[in-house]
Amino acid sequence: MRKLVTLLFTLMLIPGCSNYMELNELGLIIAMGIDVSQEIENGYRVTFQVINPSQLSPTGTPTGIPVSNYTVEGETLVDVYRRASTIIPRNNDVSHLSLVIISEELARKGTNLVFDAFERGKQAKSTFHVFIARGTSAEKVLGVVEPLESNPTKSVISTSENNQKIYGISKITPLHEVIATLSSEGKDLLLPGIKLNKKLTSKNQTDNLNNIKPSVIEVSGLAIFKKDKLVRWYDGEIARNAHLILSEIETTSFPIPCDKKTMTLISKRSKGSIKTLLKPIPTLQVNIAINTEISEMNCTKDLTDKKVLTEIETELEKEIRRQVQRTIEISQSTGTDVFGFGSTLSKENPGYWKKHKKEWKTIFSKAKVEVNVKGSINDSGLVTDPYEPK
């Protein structure tokens, strides 16, 4: 009897799931697209992408698009979120939010404290990814269903991750990193851009799914911010080089001249570091060490000759030095220290930083740039010489 009483008493102490809800009662918001309001001055137009659980059931056969988009306008993000209850037929839930897209129009006006609601709120986590919709609205980006990936949220993240691993233009940037950069001294923000590779030919998503050349989401450069405003874009190899400087490249490719033709080296490992030198004149120093292998040759060279390999390494270093120099100069021209030279200086020479931080943008823009590259070739592939057509 005593054991039974003890058991009952223990069960009474165990908390129940008072907030438990069935999956079909929840509106799981997995992405948000934030645009400038079309109707409310200084307001927001927000697209909520809500997952449809019935399309993801392991026992059922999907018969439609796995997500639905709902667009609402309001003065603040919290206001919009609550207004969304007028059209979303389930309880809004952002605990599974994995993506926020901000339109270029809004980013150029200034993000201000748009992220405050996410950081302050109790539901959403600060690990979701942030992107800029380039040349289009966030609403349109979230409205494209691709043949290979019918979930737009997953398509944005997967495409960016794939590019980050193979080439290096994009980089997944979580909210907490965005807020940390915006709140810091001596470093400006870089955010990955995405866009539609072409306009949709029809409002009917089925037409895009059946198109052999569909409209798809494309990684498109890096947005350069000055404080909270987008001021310019890095594109192509220049965007890639930004991540090379920041030591955020997994692997990438470098076409270089070869007897009036071209050969391609791919990086296997790379490490970038920065330093701000003050004497004799302020100098922004970039040091890059990169290990590569030869992946393609459109010319004839004796790769068994160490002298030839040294010449190729010298050409590689020259090309990287040129590209990185250009990347830094673009940052200087806009007065945006996206690499954190000022932040590094504040740690290495806090006295100088405290005295000159208010004029750092001017010092940074006029500073000399010094780029040091050490390149090496560790592998020439499975063959030493390319085949020769007869």
Give percent helix, percent strand, percent coil of the chain, each to the nearest 5. 35, 30, 35
As a whole number of angstroms, the distance between CA 26 and CA 93 comes to 7
Average pLDDT, the chain: 87
This prediction has a pTM of 0.88
Contact 282, 379 (CB under 8 A): no
What's the token pair of residue 157? 């993240």
Backbone phi, psi, residue 249, to 5°: -100, 130
Paired residues of 185 in beta bridges: none
As a whole number of angstroms, the distance between CA 119 and CA 127 comes to 10
Paired residues of 93 in beta bridges: 28
How many residues are listed for the chain in this entry? 390
Q: Pairing mode, if any, of strands 217-226 and 44-51? A: unpaired
Strands (E), 56-157: 67-74, 91-93, 99-103, 129-133
What is the end-to-end Cα distance of the chain in Å, rounded? Answer: 97
**pLDDT computed for residue 388 by the predictor:** 76
100 pLDDT above the threshold of 60: yes
pLDDT in tens, 197-247: 888 776 766 777 777 788 889 999 999 999 999 999 999 999 999 999 999
336 contacts: CB under 8 Å, gap ≥ 6: 188, 224, 225, 226, 231, 232
**pLDDT computed for residue 58 by the predictor:** 57
What's the token pair of residue 379? 């592998």
**pLDDT computed for residue 338 by the predictor:** 96
Q: Pairing mode, if any, of strands 129-133 and 99-103? A: parallel
pLDDT in tens, 339-366: 999 999 999 999 999 999 999 999 999 9
**pLDDT computed for residue 8 by the predictor:** 53
As a whole number of angstroms, the distance between CA 30 and CA 225 comes to 26
Question: Which of 184 and 207 is assigned the larger pLDDT?
Answer: 184
pLDDT in tens, 104-133: 999 999 988 889 888 887 666 788 999 999
Q: Would residue 259 be called left, alpha or beta, if left means φ above 0 and alpha means ψ between -120 and 50 degrees?
A: left
Question: Which of 302 and 345 is assigned the larger pLDDT?
Answer: 345
60 pLDDT above the threshold of 70: no
21 pLDDT above the threshold of 80: no
**pLDDT computed for residue 10 by the predictor:** 59
H or E segment to which residue 77 belongs: helix 77-83
**pLDDT computed for residue 274 by the predictor:** 95
**What percent of the chain is modeled with pLDDT above 90?**
64
What residue has token string 């603040």?
Answer: 76
In sequence order, what DSSP letters do the residues of 174-226 get, joined into one string? BHHHHHHHHHSSS---EEEEEEESS--S-S-HHHHHT-SS---EEEEEEEEEE
286 pLDDT above the threshold of 80: yes
What's the token pair of residue 171? 């980089």
Question: Which of 232 and 88 is assigned the larger pLDDT?
Answer: 232
Cβ count within 10 A of residue 365: 15
Paired residues of 298 in beta bridges: none
C-alpha dist (Å) from residue 46 to 17, 82, 86, 138, 288: 32, 12, 14, 8, 42
As a whole number of angstroms, the distance between CA 27 and CA 23 comes to 8
Cβ count within 10 A of residue 300: 12
200 contacts: CB under 8 Å, gap ≥ 6: 144, 208, 215
**pLDDT computed for residue 18 by the predictor:** 47
As a whole number of angstroms, the distance between CA 210 and CA 147 comes to 8
